[in-house]
Amino acid sequence: MKIIFIAAGSSTRLGGLTEEIPKGLLKINNKSIIQIQLDLFKKNKNDNVIIVTGPNNEKFNFTNILYLHDTDYKEHDVLGSLMVARDYFNDELLTTYSDIVFDEKIAQSMIKFSGDIGIAVDLNWETNYKGRDQHPKNQADNVLIKNEKIIEIRKNISKCEKNEKIGEFIGLMKLSEKGAKLFSNKFLELEREHVGKFHNADSFKKAYLTDMLQELINSGMNVTPIYVSNQWCEIDTPQDLEKAKKLFKN
């Protein structure tokens, strides 16, 4: 299994903290965000790692890693950065954002998932936004679930029917070899043919991973929730960074 880190963002909301280093290299106590993830994956015998880099790419110095530099990081968003690694979508994949920290149980849940396309979903997501005034909950990447299938993914889903539930996508995706090919083929098709607005993005070029997941759903593919309920934290603001330091103190 290959693990792909998407680490090509500019991270403007962290201000001066990320002017000279990528967000994934910020320290949570004595380890960087990416190092925390790498240690979890290696502990679970997964060390085939690719990191897609953007600004300040020369600051990365992890060993035994394949680095792919996204030279167009200013021209596209998360989806475009991920697909810099498209040549490696020929195997089972686990993709992750470089600005999240999570515990070993979450890592194991992702590794053990055996479906074709699965994403990590927290149903208890609203508690993570208490006191988080720099990143309100209407900015969460929500998922709407019905009959254990994700039927919608976008920001600010606030209503659901009695037989539905709302969670938050936390940034981890698992693809089987088949799922990786489906994902890559659909991307290449859209890259050739799509014109205009793309789901919640102004264009396909500016699409997020969530926009692509919605496209897969609309195309009839099953995107399965992988439920997580343990410790995790997204680092998007200085407030988030301080929260993560407390949450992962040990």
In sequence order, what are the residues at sequence separation of 6 or more whose Cβ sits closer than 8 angstroms to the Cβ of residue 141? 153, 154, 155, 168, 169, 171, 210
- In this prediction, residue 10 carries a pLDDT of 81
Count CB atoms within 10 A of the CB of residue 35: 15
- Residue 56 scores a pLDDT above 80: yes
DSSP-derived secondary structure for 129-195: GTT-TTS-GGGSEEEEEETTEEEEEEE------TTEEEEEEEEEEEE-HHHHHHHHHHHHHHHHH--
- Residue 22 scores a pLDDT above 80: yes
162 domain residue, yes or no: no
194 domain residue, yes or no: yes
- Residue 196 scores a pLDDT above 80: yes
The tally of domains found in the chain comes to: 1
Nearest 10 degrees: Cα torsion 249, 242, 169, 232:
10
Average pLDDT of the chain to the nearest whole number? 95
* SS3 at position 78: helix
Domain containing residue 40: CATH number: 3.90.550.10
Domain that holds residue 194: 2-121+169-247
79 domain residue, yes or no: yes
6 domain residue, yes or no: yes
Instruction: Tell me the average pLDDT across 68-86.
Output: 97
135 domain residue, yes or no: no
Confidence of residue 94 (pLDDT cuts 50, 70, 90): very high
Please give the C-alpha separations between residue 36 and each of 14, 82, 163, in angstroms, as whole numbers: 19, 20, 37
155 domain residue, yes or no: no
C-beta separation of 93 from 174 below 8 A: yes
- Residue 86 scores a pLDDT above 80: yes
- Residue 16 scores a pLDDT above 90: no
Helix 104-112 × helix 33-43 angle, to 10°:
60
- In this prediction, residue 130 carries a pLDDT of 87
Reported pTM? 0.96
- Residue 5 scores a pLDDT above 90: yes
In sequence order, what are the residues at sequence separation of 6 or more whose Cβ sits closer than 8 angstroms to the Cβ of residue 52? 4, 5, 6, 7, 8, 68, 69, 70, 81, 82, 84, 85
- In this prediction, residue 162 carries a pLDDT of 92
Confidence of residue 156 (pLDDT cuts 50, 70, 90): very high
Residues of the chain with pLDDT > 90, as a percent, come to 89
pLDDT, greater one: 10 or 104: 104
